[in-house]
């Protein structure tokens, strides 16, 4: 039995996605500012009504959330800056929810945004972390492509996954993206095209990789009565988990922190994997998607390949997954990539999708994964949300 | 099996040379320890004194017990390859023209997992033998070799990036008049060097071995700027390895001489001469460092072990050797990506060490050690029992060594 208090009375609302661009001459400040402005406009509030701010960005430097308050002319009484890459969306939600629940803030704006120039990604990778600079980048300098290729290779050897299995994930997500107006990838992807694609860092090929881009995502967290007075469509937070550097004794990463915390995730929400209507995983590479299917309890460890063979992962399928197309098709806007699943899930379960609506979507699971500090992703998190 | 290295081809005079770029060299202070150990050819990692846990990547704090005393210790070299990739696309300017490049994650027998360069003969998910190597930026990197030597193992292009094998390369030896220079030439030619230039100063003056000189004699007097300039102009573009064998060791402390004549000569041989040569040859050598598998790769300087702490009976030589060593250390940065190999020697078996009891180093032993250092890509070797003994004492405590040497 979990001893954690429920998130009673707290809701998330107003999911905002600022359409991504491959390259931008603007700054992270500009992208974050746009997302905040759009959130305020859609919520029908004033800037000063936001008394809590949570920011994530890789390209805001040398500023942090602190500098941003002055840049944007905000005076929040609660401020957070979350450097957790793909786990930022989930972690921002759970921190903001507690702040609102405890009364430390009334309305928290959670925002992630990054810009992207022609050399941004290489520069980010070259100086990503101390361990990466000391012990990863000097070995071929392939960045996350190389690191995830090694994990993918090990996973394939261990569990018999094939490139066709990973293709099923990528092809289904591309299918979903065709209906999502902001996706940077707008062409249908076939299994043949996937398999014939240029090898980037074997066994990771072109369509296993996300496209770095500029963009921003945001949402608001507040009490349900605040939201009701504003007339907003909302989702309740049923449960969340967060874990860092899980299983450090594993010689290579074949599971993430979700495997440690999954029982609590469902127990707190009072549901099971069967009660999830749609799943948004963190999809920087398809092997990580497969691990999330396993570690979040949708199938047993090692059964990921069989799971993708026997399920239809598209919007209209029996297992709606990454319904906007995910980062693999929409693009990876830096830290905003860690929000993409959150905003999409909020839209789907509040009946405000930008593309097709998933039928009977009431309960969503959003999962995050971030920061290859050295040889593995360190941050994992997940949240279960339900239409209010 | 790895294919043998293709023979050296004549350079295409119209092709633009490949720029001598380096892999990213920035490291944390702790990770610099990898280079210090790779320079000596040792496989060491940090081991926590408090709990015995082996650390990797290099750390400031033990990942087990939070201890902060993490000295570098020799550890087991065995490993198992857990997962691998062959990089085809890299955003890095050095690697992108050297792909495909194989790397992987290995489980080290001593505990941690480590990303490493992986030799093509290591079988997938197989066992490997780890070595610490210096990459072209001069930083220490992990290399996974097959458990047992395979045919042409060291011919792999990735390995050639980290070693300085003289095979197929053209070498300048600065002092062909000396037994050491002649022995070095024989040893390098026997190891497959394409050509050896032997510098001969004052050719009109007869010298021992002049009738059986190995390699090609070229006029070179390191004390003469004109001579050095002429050599650089004529042969500079054809030299891949420089072996500076000019060693001028003379007995005598500061009060044993009445003037500075001899001290100046020692500085000339140990410091000004090599500096002159580096100024003349360095830029060309460095520019040719990425010129294929036979590109320019190394500069060898020989230093008396007195460079670390003087022996009172050879004190002035010691001062000059210390100056030469300091030059070698700064040449590491200035000549990069050319490897600077410093070979420390104790008393040589020659006419200037008659009063010194054995063990003494023969020219052929020194030549063999230099060859080994080049082949293994080392940066620092101590040759002979005396040099090794002094080096160990110096690593243990340099201040104590200075007192010990003072007698």
Q: Are residues B76 and B224 in the same domain?
A: no
Per-residue pLDDT reduced to its tens digit, A330-384: 999 999 999 999 999 999 999 999 999 999 999 999 999 999 999 999 999 999 9
CB contact under 8 A, B117 and A139: yes
Q: Domain for residue B8, yes or no? A: no
DSSP label at residue A82: -
Residue B1 has what pLDDT? 66
Identify whether residues A165 and A48 lie together within a single domain. no
For A344, the token pair is 């999409």
Q: Nearest-CA distance from A260 to chain B in Å?
A: 20
**Which residues touch B318 (CB under 8 Å, ≥6 apart)?**
B304, B306, B307, B309, B310, B311
Question: Does A153 sit within 8 Å of B113, measured CB to CB?
Answer: no
Residues B13-37 as b/e (b if ≥16 CB within 10 A, e otherwise) read: eeeeeeebbbbbbebbebbebbbeb
Instruction: Indicate whether A229 and A366 sit together in one domain.
Output: no
Do A341 and A192 reside in the same domain of the chain?
A: yes
**Across the A/B interface, how many CB contacts are shorter than 8 Å?**
123
CATH number at residue A98: 3.40.47.10
Give me the CATH number covering residue B386. 3.40.50.720
Mean pLDDT of chain A: 97
Q: Is the dihedral of CA A324, A329, A333, A335 positive or negative?
A: positive
- Nearest residue in A to B59, CA atom: A131
* Residue numbers in A near B126 (CB within 8 A): none
Q: Which residues of A touch B337 (CB under 8 A)?
A: none
Cα gap B141→B58, rounded to integer Å: 12
Residues of B within 8 A of A125 (CB-CB) are 91
In whole angstroms, give the CA distance from residue A12 to residue A21. 26
A3, part of any domain? no
Evaluate whether residue A380 is within a structural domain: yes
B349 and B315 in a common domain: yes
The span from the CA of B56 to the CA of B115, in Å, is 10
Q: Mean pLDDT across the stretch A66-91?
A: 97
Domain that holds residue A60: 10-118+214-234
Same domain flag for B145 and B220: no
How many domains would you assign to chain A?
Answer: 2
Position A5 in a domain: no
Which structural domain range is residue B153 located in? 32-162
Nearest CA in chain A to B139: A138
CB B245 within 8 A of CB B178: yes
Question: Is B31's CB within 8 Å of A122's CB?
Answer: no
Chain B contacts of A252, Cβ < 8 Å? 82-83, 105, 107, 113
Question: Which residue of A121, A200, A251 is in closest CB contact with B89?
Answer: A200
Residue B170's pLDDT band, with cuts at 50, 70 and 90, is: very high
pLDDT at res. A92:
98
Statement: residue B268 has pLDDT above 70: yes
CB contact under 8 Å between B26 and A133, yes or no, is yes
State the average pLDDT over residues A158-181: 98
Q: Give mean pLDDT, residues B137-157.
A: 96
B156 shares its domain with B231 = no
Contact B103 A146 (CB under 8 A): yes
Question: Out of A53-57, B110-114, B259-263, which region has the weakest mean confidence (pLDDT)?
Answer: B259-263
Per-residue pLDDT tens for A258-280?
Answer: 999 999 999 999 999 999 999 99
pLDDT at position B76: 98
CB spacing of B83 vs A140 below 8 angstroms: no
Other Cβ atoms less than 10 A from the Cβ of B286: the count is 17
- Interchain contact B61–A (C-beta under 8 A): no
In a domain, B305, yes or no: yes
Residues of A in contact with B28 (CB under 8 A): 130, 133-134
Give the number of residues written for chain B.
407
Domain count, chain B: 2
The residue of chain B nearest to residue A131, with distances taken between CA atoms, is B57
Whether omega for the bond prior to residue A207 falls within 30 degrees of 0, making it cis, is no
Are A311 and A229 contained in the same domain? no
pLDDT value at A25 more than 90: yes
Does the pLDDT of residue A2 top 70, yes or no?
Answer: no
Question: By CB neighbour count within 10 A (0-12 exposed, 13-18 middle, 19+ buried), where does B231 fall?
Answer: buried
Out of B162, B192, B214, a domain closes at B162
Residue A3 has pLDDT above 80, yes or no: no
Q: Establish if A123 belongs to a structural domain.
A: no
**Nearest 5°: CA angle at A18, between A14 and A19?**
135
Q: Hey, is the C-beta of A142 within 8 angstroms of any chain B C-beta?
A: yes
Residues B155 and B212 in one domain: no
End position of a domain, from candidates A202, A234, A266? A234
B102 and B182 assigned to the same domain: no
A200 interface with B at CB cutoff 8 Å: yes
- The confidence band for B14, taking pLDDT boundaries of 50, 70 and 90, is confident
Nearest CA in chain A to B103: A139
Q: Please say which residue of A234, A268, A285 terminates a domain.
A: A234
* Domain end position, chosen among B117, B146, B162: B162
Q: Are residues A252 and A362 in the same domain?
A: yes
- Same-domain status, A223 and A266: no
Residues A170 and A228 in one domain: no
Do A341 and A203 belong together in one domain? yes
Q: What is the mean pLDDT of residues A240-250?
A: 98
């Amino acid at each position: 039995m979990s001893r954690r208090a429920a998130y009673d009375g707290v809701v998330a609302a107003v999911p905002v996605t600022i359409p991504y661009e491959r390259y931008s001459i603007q700054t992270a400040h500009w992208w974050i500012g746009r997302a905040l402005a759009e959130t305020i406009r859609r919520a029908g509030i004033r800037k000063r009504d936001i008394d809590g701010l949570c920011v994530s960005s890789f390209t805001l430097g040398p500023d942090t959330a602190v500098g941003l308050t002055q840049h944007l002319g905000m005076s929040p009484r609660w401020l957070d800056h979350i450097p957790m890459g793909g786990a930022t969306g989930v972690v921002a939600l759970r921190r903001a929810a507690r702040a609102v629940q405890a009364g430390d803030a009334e309305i928290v704006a959670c925002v992630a945004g990054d810009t992207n120039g022609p050399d941004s990604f290489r520069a980010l990778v070259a100086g990503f972390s101390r361990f990466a600079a000391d012990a990863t980048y000097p070995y071929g300098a392939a960045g996350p492509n190389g690191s995830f290729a090694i994990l993918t290779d090990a996973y394939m050897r261990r569990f018999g996954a094939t490139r066709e299995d990973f293709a099923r994930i990528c092809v289904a997500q591309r299918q979903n993206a065709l209906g999502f107006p902001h996706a940077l990838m707008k062409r249908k992807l076939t299994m043949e095209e996937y398999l014939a694609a240029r090898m980037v860092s074997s066994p990771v090929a072109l369509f296993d990789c996300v496209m770095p881009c500029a963009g921003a995502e945001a949402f608001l967290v507040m009490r349900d009565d605040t939201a009701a007075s504003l007339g907003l469509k909302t989702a309740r937070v049923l449960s969340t988990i967060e874990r860092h550097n899980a299983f450090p004794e594993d010689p290579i990463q074949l599971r993430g922190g979700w495997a440690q915390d999954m029982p609590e995730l469902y127990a707190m929400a009072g549901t099971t994997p069967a009660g999830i209507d749609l799943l948004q995983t963190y999809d920087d590479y398809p092997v990580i998607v497969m691990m999330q299917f396993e570690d979040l309890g949708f199938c047993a460890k090692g059964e990921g390949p069989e799971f993708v063979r026997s399920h239809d992962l598209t919007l209209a399928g029996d297992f709606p997954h990454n319904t906007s197309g995910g980062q693999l098709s929409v693009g990876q806007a830096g830290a905003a990539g860690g929000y993409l699943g959150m905003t999409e899930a909020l839209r789907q379960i509040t009946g405000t999708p930008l593309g097709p609506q998933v039928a009977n979507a009431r309960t969503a699971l959003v999962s995050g994964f971030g920061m290859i500090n050295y040889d593995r992703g360190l941050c994992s998190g997940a949240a279960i949300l339900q239409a209010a | 099996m790895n294919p043998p290295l293709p023979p050296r081809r004549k350079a295409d005079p119209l092709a633009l040379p490949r720029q001598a770029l380096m892999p990213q060299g920035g490291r944390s202070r702790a990770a610099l320890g990898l280079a210090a150990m790779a320079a000596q050819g040792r496989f060491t990692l940090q081991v926590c004194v408090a709990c015995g846990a082996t650390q990797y990547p290099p750390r400031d704090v033990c990942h087990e017990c939070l201890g902060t005393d993490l000295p570098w210790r020799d550890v087991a070299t065995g490993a198992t390859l857990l997962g691998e990739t062959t990089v085809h696309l890299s955003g890095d300017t050095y690697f992108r023209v050297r792909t495909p490049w194989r790397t992987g994650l290995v489980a080290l027998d001593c505990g941690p997992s480590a990303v490493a360069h992986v030799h093509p003969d290591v079988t997938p998910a197989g066992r490997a033998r780890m070595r610490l190597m210096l990459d072209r930026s001069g930083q220490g990197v992990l290399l996974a070799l097959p458990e047992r030597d395979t045919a042409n193992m060291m011919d792999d292009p990735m390995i050639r990036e980290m070693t300085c094998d003289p095979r197929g390369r053209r070498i300048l030896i600065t002092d062909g008049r000396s037994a050491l220079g002649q022995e070095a030439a024989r040893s390098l030619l026997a190891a497959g060097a394409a050509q050896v230039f032997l510098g001969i100063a004052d050719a009109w003056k007869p010298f021992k071995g002049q009738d059986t000189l190995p390699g090609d004699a070229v006029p070179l007097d390191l004390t003469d700027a004109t001579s050095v300039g002429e050599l650089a102009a004529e042969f500079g573009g054809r030299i891949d390895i420089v072996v500076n064998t000019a060693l001028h060791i003379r007995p005598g402390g500061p009060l044993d001489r009445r003037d500075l004549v001899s001290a100046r000569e020692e500085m000339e041989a140990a410091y000004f001469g090599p500096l002159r040569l580096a100024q003349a040859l360095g830029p060309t050598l460095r520019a040719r460092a990425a010129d294929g598998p036979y590109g320019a790769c190394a500069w060898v300087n020989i230093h008396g072990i007195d460079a670390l702490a003087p022996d009172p009976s050879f004190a002035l030589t010691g001062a000059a050797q210390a100056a030469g060593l300091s030059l070698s250390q700064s040449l590491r940065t200035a000549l990069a990506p050319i490897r600077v190999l410093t070979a420390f020697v104790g008393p040589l078996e020659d006419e200037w060490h008659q009063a010194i009891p054995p063990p003494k180093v023969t020219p052929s032993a020194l030549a063999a050690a230099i060859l080994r250092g080049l082949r293994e890509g080392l940066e620092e070797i101590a040759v002979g029992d005396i040099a090794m003994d002094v080096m160990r004492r110096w690593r243990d405590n340099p201040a104590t060594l200075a007192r010990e040497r003072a007698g």
